[in-house]
Amino acid sequence: MNEEHSSASRSSFSGKIGYVLAVAGSAVGLGNIWRFPYLAAKYGGGMFLLVYLILMLTFGYTLIVSETALGRMTKKSPVGAFGAFGKSMPFKLGGWVNAIIPVLIVPYYSVIGGWVTKYLFEYLRGSASALAEDSYFTSFISDGVSVEIWFLVFIIAVILVILAGVESGVERISKIMMPVLVVLAVFVAGYSVTRPGALAGVKYFLIPNFKNFSWMTVVAAMGQMFYSLSIAMGILYTYGSYIKKDVDIEQSTTQIEWFDTGIALLAGLMIIPAVFAFSGGDPAMLNAGPSLMFITIPKVFASMGLGTPAGIMFFLLVLFAALTSSISLAETSVSTFVDQFGWSRKKASFILFVIMIVLGSASALGFSSLDFVTILGMSILDFFDFLTNSVMMPIAALATCILIIRVVGFHRIAEEMEVSSRFRRKKLYCFFMKYLAPVCIAIILISSIANVFGIISM
């Protein structure tokens, strides 16, 4: 039954462009615009950027290629792909750890989606100057009822799209919205970097300074790389299973990586120089974390004298990027339920909806009525972010590496790659897989555990 279902509904992308756009639509989201700038601000600016780029081009490249090739080879999502190589417990665990991550991310992702929706609504109502005030964001997130309402608005939108099965419509809109997002981002970044005092921020963000290097720079950059590129969460297996044999996986990987990183760079240039222009690079502001985008961007727009139109455009586009990403997270979760448990699409969507409400509400209320709950010193939202990015994704990545090294073998990955083109970086791939990947995974896991025991702080 499961087999039948998956083969009957396994569509394929129309070609290389379709595939690159679909992955880019999933990859470009809140991770680029909201998460990347605040992490870069907090963990060393240019140093963070440098570490991120190195990791993306080495470890990230290796993982994207691996997951996509395994997906295309087996024509299965992660649980099925691992299952194709063995039926015993380790294979099951390897598949499930990949498949469960989107289910845990989508609830808290939607909480941020709700914040974005609220900001868009306020801009539409003409509250641009109120939004630019220092305390606006803090008082908003401590109002539990309001946060919960906007969170619900966002997840209802996501679930409706999933139920209606209009992903192809979403793909079509993304083709228009993504370029608009790029143009707007270039424009806002240009404005931001030319503010008086902003140059210090540009330098902080682009020029690595070894003084700013810390262990956490590496850990945060690695978590961000997984998150932003949608690695180690089953997505690329699933997408890989939809591509035809003539797609050059290596070349598409490079295009996706640079597109995703380009948007993150632009977001960094919009936000970090603005922090310097408006607060002189105040360390408290640089450490603002998840709230950074919501505090700085309205100030930039207000000072442009174009608060309302710019705010509407910006939050509309961020909302759009967030929606396409949550849809891909929710879609992957639903298809895992359908494939593995034989549930109908309706039932799977309903159960995901319940999970989203329960876990998402906990994250949403973590700044108000549930603010007394801290897990390992983190708010509930930060905890889910940490658990998935710094603990589960490294384990999921480890599972993929072990599968390739111990079971599948490099030669079969190479064969899969060579069906469509020459495997140009084959030697590098094998080297990264054998030596770099285990080191990276060990670093992030050990640091996360050390953090849990309070030996280092995140």
In one letter, which amino acid is 324? T
Residue 378, helix vs strand vs coil: strand
> Which span sits near ligand PHE by CB under 6 A: 78-86, 125-133, 230-238, 352-360?
230-238
Q: Are 101 and 396 in contact (CB under 8 A)?
A: yes
**Contacting residue, 6, 253, 328, 361, with ligand PHE by CB under 6 A:** 328
Question: Could you tell me the smallest distance in angstroms from the CB atom of residue 251 to ligand PHE?
Answer: 20
**Closest to 228 (Cα-Cα) out of 89, 321, 356:** 321
| Sequence-ordered list of residues with C-beta below 8 angstroms from that of 329, at least 6 positions apart, any chain | 102, 105, 106, 109, 235
> Which span sits near ligand PHE by CB under 6 A: 224-232, 395-403, 423-431, 433-441?
224-232
> Which span sits near ligand PHE by CB under 6 A: 12-20, 26-34, 248-256, 450-458?
26-34
Q: Are 155 and 363 in contact (CB under 8 A)?
A: no
Pairwise CA distance, residues 28 & 182, whole Å: 11
300 binds ligand PHE, rule: CB under 6 A: no
If the CB atoms of residues 230 and 349 are measured against ligand PHE, the closer one turns out to be 230
| Sequence-ordered list of residues with C-beta below 8 angstroms from that of 397, at least 6 positions apart, any chain | 63, 226, 231, 232, 437, 441
Question: Could you tell me the smallest distance in angstroms from the CB atom of residue 227 to ligand PHE?
Answer: 6
If the CB atoms of residues 400 and 420 are measured against ligand PHE, the closer one turns out to be 400
If the CB atoms of residues 27 and 218 are measured against ligand PHE, the closer one turns out to be 27
Residues 120-139 that bind ligand PHE (CB under 6 A): none
Q: Are 39 and 218 in contact (CB under 8 A)?
A: no
**Contacting residue, 32, 117, 388, 447, with ligand PHE by CB under 6 A:** 32
297 binds ligand PHE, rule: CB under 6 A: no
> Which span sits near ligand PHE by CB under 6 A: 110-118, 226-234, 400-408, 434-442?
226-234
The pair of structure tokens assigned to 454 is 């309070």
The pair of structure tokens assigned to 409 is 């073998």
**Closest to 342 (Cα-Cα) out of 11, 27, 2, 40:** 2
Q: Which long-range contacts (CB under 8 A, 24 or more apart) does 355-361 make?
A: 355/103, 355/107, 356/106, 356/107, 356/110, 356/155, 356/159, 356/330, 357/107, 357/152, 357/155, 358/107, 359/104, 359/107, 359/108, 359/384, 360/107, 360/108, 360/110, 360/111, 360/151, 360/155, 361/148, 361/151
The pair of structure tokens assigned to 97 is 């750890």
6 binds ligand PHE, rule: CB under 6 A: no
The residue number with the shortest CB distance to ligand PHE is 31
How far is CA 328 from its chain centroid?
Answer: 11
If the CB atoms of residues 27 and 348 are measured against ligand PHE, the closer one turns out to be 27
Residues 232-291 that bind ligand PHE (CB under 6 A): 233, 235
> Which span sits near ligand PHE by CB under 6 A: 25-33, 209-217, 238-246, 415-423?
25-33
If the CB atoms of residues 137 and 320 are measured against ligand PHE, the closer one turns out to be 320
228 binds ligand PHE, rule: CB under 6 A: yes
> Which span sits near ligand PHE by CB under 6 A: 8-16, 49-57, 215-223, 228-236?
228-236
336 binds ligand PHE, rule: CB under 6 A: no
Pairwise CA distance, residues 138 & 2, whole Å: 47
Q: Are 94 and 403 in contact (CB under 8 A)?
A: yes
> Which span sits near ligand PHE by CB under 6 A: 24-32, 179-187, 243-251, 359-367?
24-32
Q: Which residues pair with 102 in a beta bridge?
A: none
- Size, binding site for ligand PHE by CB under 6 A: 15
DSSP label at residue 375: B
If the CB atoms of residues 32 and 400 are measured against ligand PHE, the closer one turns out to be 32
Question: Could you tell me the smallest distance in angstroms from the CB atom of residue 129 to ligand PHE?
Answer: 29
Pairwise CA distance, residues 293 & 352, whole Å: 28
If the CB atoms of residues 279 and 335 are measured against ligand PHE, the closer one turns out to be 335
29 binds ligand PHE, rule: CB under 6 A: yes
30 binds ligand PHE, rule: CB under 6 A: yes
31 binds ligand PHE, rule: CB under 6 A: yes
Interacting residues toward ligand PHE by CB under 6 A: 26-27, 29-32, 102, 227-228, 230, 233, 235, 325, 328-329
